[in-house]
Amino acid sequence: MERANIKRVALIASAAALVLIGSTAAFLTSSDKGDNRFTVGKVDLTLDESSYTDGQKLSAGQIIDKNPTVSNKGNVRELFFVEVTVPCMEATFLYNDGTRIPPANIPTDPAAADYRQLGEIYNLLADGGTGGTYKKNAISAPSNTNWEISCNSGTSDQEGWHFITKSENQKSYDKVPGFRNGKYSTYVFGYNAWVEPGGRTVPVFDKLQLRSIVDADIPGGTLTQVQVNAYSIQADALNVQTGDRNGSQGSYYTDADVREIYKIIENKKNG
């Protein structure tokens, strides 16, 4: 009996609740409509070299204009990284005074051929802004040589590039037909600030120079490929620890920040 009463009460209660809901709905409802439109962010970029002409023939020591810059063609803020591949060849390299640079294990009484060694044949030269202040050489050049792999460097108060890493024989690009296969070094640079849509970086570097080499060791007309690859990633919502800087104007990323962000690019390339 008691169970039946409980059941009846429960049914009455639910009916009452339903009526209550209905009544409430009659007094308090209103409606509105809002359109929440979301635009999917687009990350895009172009790599430009306004001063470079393809296919030039260089004499030893000759310097030509080559100024890779990266532009944001997307609709979100982006961070940029650039890889530059420098060909290496077996050659006799020269000091600034024209004498031959001996390889590490040269014999006591060397013949001419004993001076041949594998080395990068190009310099990357950054102008470094007014007075050449803002440039950094990524390599420790042997004394009495003009070897240089430099970038227009970023600082705490200036936009620019940080040198991140160097690797050898990294097979990360497609060789064009006729390219002479061989060994190469790949230098990676990262920009210390995010770039707005429509914006552009400063050049990574400004010129390319063929190093001083004995010409008989490299056949004239040898085609070399200096591949430049640019990568971008969204600047916002990155789950990366970057200290107290955020890549905006006046809060440029440090060298360590850029390296940390680059890990994302590396993972995506290798994934």
Partner 1 sequence: MEMTNRKKGVIAAVSAGVLIAVTGGVFAYFAAKDGKANLVRVGEDTISVDESFDQPEQTQNFAYRKLVKIDNTGSVPCFVRVRLEFSDSAVQSAASFSSDKQGADDSVTVDDDDIDFYPADPADDNAYAKHLPEGWEYSTDDGYYYYTAPVAAGESTSALISWVKMAYEDVTAIQAHDIYVYAESVQTVDPDTGEDYADPELTDGYKTAWRNFTT
If you ran DSSP here, which 8-state letter would residue 175 be given?
P
Options 23, 51, 90, 96; binder of partner 1; rule CB under 8 A: 96
Binding residues for partner 1, how many (CB under 8 A)?
76
Question: Of 53-61, 135-143, 147-155, 243-251, which segment contacts partner 1 by CB under 8 A?
Answer: 53-61
Question: Of 26-34, 72-80, 99-107, 152-160, which segment contacts partner 1 by CB under 8 A?
Answer: 72-80
* Rg of the chain over all Cα atoms, to the nearest angstrom: 31
Tokens at 189, concatenated = 């640079």
Q: Smallest gap, in angstroms, from Cβ of residue 156 to partner 1?
A: 26
Which parts of 25-44 interact with partner 1 (CB under 8 A)?
Answer: 41-44
State the CB neighbour count (10 A cutoff) for residue 209: 20
Contacts with 96 (C-beta within 8 Å, 6 or more apart), sequence order: 144, 145, 146, 212
CA 5 to chain centre: 76
Which parts of 181-220 interact with partner 1 (CB under 8 A)?
Answer: 208-210, 212, 215, 218-220
Q: Is the separation of the CB atoms in 76 and 233 below 8 Å? A: no
Considering the complex, state which of residue 32 and residue 109 has its C-beta at the smaller distance from partner 1.
32
DSSP string, 115-172: G-EEEE-EEEE---SGGG-SEEESS-PPTT----BEEEB-BTTB--EEEEEEEES---
Q: Smallest gap, in angstroms, from Cβ of residue 38 to partner 1?
A: 11
Question: Of 133-141, 157-165, 185-193, 234-242, which segment contacts partner 1 by CB under 8 A?
Answer: 234-242
Options 234, 242, 251, 254; binder of partner 1; rule CB under 8 A: 234
Q: Does 141 bind partner 1 (CB under 8 A)?
A: no
